[in-house]
Structure 1
Amino acid sequence: MSTLSEQNLSGGEIPYDESDFNSIRNILKEKSGISLSSSKMRLVYSRLSRRVRLCSLPDFRSYISFVNSSSGVEERSCMIDALTTNVTNFFREKYHFEHFAQVVMPEIINRAQKGEKIRIWSSACSSGQEPFSIAMTVLDCFPTANKYDIKILATDISHEMIDFCRRGVYSISETESIAEDFLKKYSIKTGDRIHFSDDIKKLISFRNLNLLESWPMQCQFTSIFCRNVAIYFDRATQNILWRRLADALLPSGYLYIGHSEKIAMETAPDITPCGCPTTYRKDI
């Protein structure tokens, strides 16, 4: 059995071996649905060794015992935060936002002006680029959106990411993919930071949510973005997620998934590809 302490990784002073890695990935799979391959052993060490030190524990075995205990619930959440990959950017997979603006927004405007409640869900919002991109698209198509019952729910498993999102502040380099006219209309530059406007932030509600646990929302959504999340789940977990997301959509609602993801017809026969890549429409 190999140990990373023997390989002198990241200082290597914290004992860590394959059994520790397997215990950690079992916890991660059970609590978040994310499946780690054996090749991620070094990554787990690099991301969690700091957590082990912060907890003043001598080795990973002690850390695992702690996060599995009743007193380690908060640290277990920190562990999941540390292992969750948060890679995103504004207007990622641009074709989704073009479809949303051209096809979905006219329907949303029509429904909102009739007094209907409009709910849009960014279901794994990471560091917030996706929901802020959605909000900018909404306001660009419908400048008076805040006068109507329109809200974007943005959720993520990471408490740290949700706290970050609520601030609505990003570096200039992080906002390079935002069109210049959008930046001028929807943000304020202060030094080397970009602050989103109140009009944008009013549209979004940020909440912590584990997609594998119960969903407290009572409403159905006109659109759901769940992109580049299911790739971390095994096939059975993916199928459960797709079915639940389909149920959470209103009839004629749209589901946007990641560029390398696909929904099998037998999993959710009531949602079908609509022409735009990795975009599905729920049957009426």
Structure 2
Amino acid sequence: MITLAEQNLSGGDIPYDESDFNNIRNILKEKSGISLSASKKPLVYSRLSRRVRLCSLPDFRSYVSFVNSPAGSEEQLCMIDALTTNVTNFFREKHHFEHFSQIVMPEIIRRAERGEKVRIWSSACSSGQEPFSIAMTILDSFPKANNYNIKILATDISFEMIDFCRRGVYSLKETESIPDNFLKKWSRKTGNEIHFSDDLKELVSFKNLNLLKPWPMQCQFISIFCRNVAIYFDRDTQNMLWRRLSDAVLPGGYLYIGHSEKIAPEIVPDITPCGCPTTYRKDI
């Protein structure tokens, strides 16, 4: 999940004006789908002034020109990373994981034992808490899951976050919401850190992916988690994303979205709300 942190401009020595801000937010919108309001002008300065200095550029106008040039393509990714802050926790919106365990897992087990490929997608995995929560839920119901063709695809726009996720290492504070019995099964404590087990990490494949660009995946997913992401997109981008996600869900599968998000039935008629909040089932 991607959210934009609130910060105040505390004064700065790098030239920065309205035109620079508008150019930067246009790049962010085009590349990531995130829409910045005018109130985020101080945030952009506070987040990017360090990047301007690291690039040895005199002002934001030069920085914008650089990230728009072929030579600045890598810096453009750094810019997007700098403007996005990942806020999440393990087993966030617990009702989704209860639904996944009670309703989806029996079908996953049936399909896996028939030799079918089973795929789950955490589509904006942020710092990894969501896909690892899914993995723990799967192994809790199906301890031999790694012996079958079951995999969680976890994607995020941030290369930095994907690198972090692959380590499978979190602070004690970050893991407080994980049940103790889960921690005992699939982690070890080293100092002030929790290191996830190889069994847990084996279930998850972390990849970089921009949700607004073409998706390389050829399969459909029995469940997709796309939570607290669309709220940062404008309405047209949201609707486009909901349609694409619906197409990627297997008939009879489920799409989990954020607590403040909603899919209008006239926009995506082939998925319908089920009994679990902000959970949609794909028509068979």
Q: Determine the structure 2 residue equivalent to 1:218.
A: 218
Kindly provide the amino acid, as one letter, of the partner of residue 215 in structure 2.
W
Alpha-carbon separation, structure 2, partners of 1:248 and 1:271: 11
Q: CA deviation at 1:85?
A: 2.7
Q: TM-score, normalised by structure 2?
A: 0.96
Q: CA deviation at 1:46?
A: 1.0
Q: CA RMSD in A?
A: 0.9
Q: Determine the structure 2 residue equivalent to 1:40.
A: 40
Is the 8 Å Cα contact of residues 117 and 149 (structure 2) preserved in structure 1?
A: yes
Question: What is the DSSP-based 3-state SS (H/G/I as helix, E as strand, rest coil) of the residue aligned with 2:75?
Answer: helix
Q: Structure 2 vs 1, CA of residues 9 and 242 (structure 1 numbering), >3 Å: closer, same or farther?
A: closer
Q: CA deviation at 1:266?
A: 1.1
Alpha-carbon separation, structure 1, partners of 2:68 and 2:218: 31
Alpha-carbon separation, structure 1, partners of 2:54 and 2:62: 13
Q: Determine the structure 1 residue equivalent to 2:273.
A: 273
Alpha-carbon separation, structure 1, partners of 2:126 and 2:91: 14
**Structure 1 segment 176-215 matched on structure 2, within 5 A:** 176-215=176-215
Is the 8 Å Cα contact of residues 35 and 234 (structure 2) preserved in structure 1?
A: yes
Q: CA deviation at 1:267?
A: 1.2
**2:121 counterpart of 1:121:** yes
* Structure 1 gap ranges (5+): 1-7
Alpha-carbon separation, structure 1, partners of 2:140 and 2:182: 8
1:16-67 superposed Cα distances (whole Å, 9 cap, x missing partner): 1111111100000000000011111111111111111111111111100000
Q: TM-score, normalised by structure 1?
A: 0.96
Q: CA deviation at 1:273?
A: 0.2
Q: Determine the structure 2 residue equivalent to 1:100.
A: 100
1:62-113 superposed Cα distances (whole Å, 9 cap, x missing partner): 1000000000000000100111231100000000000000100011001101
Q: Determine the structure 1 residue equivalent to 2:5.
A: none
Alpha-carbon separation, structure 1, partners of 2:141 and 2:18: 52
Question: What is the DSSP-based 3-state SS (H/G/I as helix, E as strand, rest coil) of the residue aligned with 2:174?
Answer: helix
Aligned residues between the structures: 277
Q: CA deviation at 1:9?
A: 4.0
**2:238 counterpart of 1:238:** yes
* Structure 2 gap ranges (5+): 1-7
Is the 8 Å Cα contact of residues 9 and 43 (structure 2) preserved in structure 1?
A: no
